[in-house]
Homo-oligomer: A and B are copies of this chain.
């Protein structure tokens, strides 16, 4: 590979070339990039001008090889197709972009295997830290990161140990709010429609539902567990429910609820007249659906953004960083799918 000594439009403009053109040493250029305050103002200006002129772009691989970590974080979510998580991702991405960090986004599709593969990939990339909504309490893939000293923040999941931050929404309360509302409306035979109970969100929302029944001293909960938490799955589950309609369906997310609504309306099951339906997440589209959906609202954008802030705080101040467990309270948004 030819290396032009003076050429300004070379494929690889390195820190050395910049140093040469600016009449300083490579070390100084590195300082301009990483600790500008240590460099005299006029030297700094001169170097920065040369950087502009040559179109120098720092080689992130070399940088993170030497420094031990780069300006990239990992974000691992359960399901990229769910607007709730899309909003979480937007929150994370916005903050990281402001702080000049990149985000490697991974979807685990709620599969342990895929989560582990992606975690391994993140470890290889020497990411600065990882935000993760874990598939289960499976410590395996997190251990991989811990061993390498990569900070993790739990997202929409409580910290499994004291040595990490977490940002969650109180799902037990969410489930309680939803089902208490249904009981007040007169429902007794209630279906819980959700994904696998190994996923914490499902288990907690169901637990909240049971608690509401205990508190009210009435009601029966029927579980309908589906593999995926999509509107298709909701659609299929609702078709099976037609044989024995409950008084109400509490869905563990809005996608399921939208699938259920579609079937009920097609089949002439009046909502809320015959069956009440409650969703979870209050995604934007829940409001616009045929029968506007009662749903439990969570703050996804804020969730992502705050988790991102916690992670960067831990990265930048490893000394005096205090791990925090932040929990938001959900809010029940009542619409027509549960009231006339």
Residues of A near any B CB (own CB < 8 A): 11, 55, 57-62, 64-65, 70-72, 80-81, 83, 86-87, 89-90, 93, 97, 100, 102-107, 114, 117-118, 120-126, 144, 147-149, 231, 258, 261-262, 284-285, 287-290, 292
Contacts and interface: CB of A to CB of B under 8 A. Distances in A.
Contacts of A58: 124
In the complex this chain forms, how many copies of it are found?
A: 2
27 contacts: A11-B149, A57-B120, A57-B123, A58-B124, A59-B65, A60-B61, A60-B126, A61-B125, A70-B125, A71-B121, A80-B90, A83-B86, A86-B86, A93-B106, A97-B106, A97-B117, A97-B118, A102-B121, A102-B122, A103-B104, A104-B105, A231-B288, A258-B288, A285-B285, A288-B289, A289-B290, A290-B290
Given A61-B64, A81-B86, A102-B118, 7 more contacts: A55-B144, A60-B125, A62-B65, A80-B86, A97-B114, A97-B117, A285-B289
Contacts of A93: 80, 105-107
A123 B60 CA distance: 8
Contacts of A284: 231
Contact of A65 (B65, B104, B123, B258): B65
A258 to B, nearest CB: 5
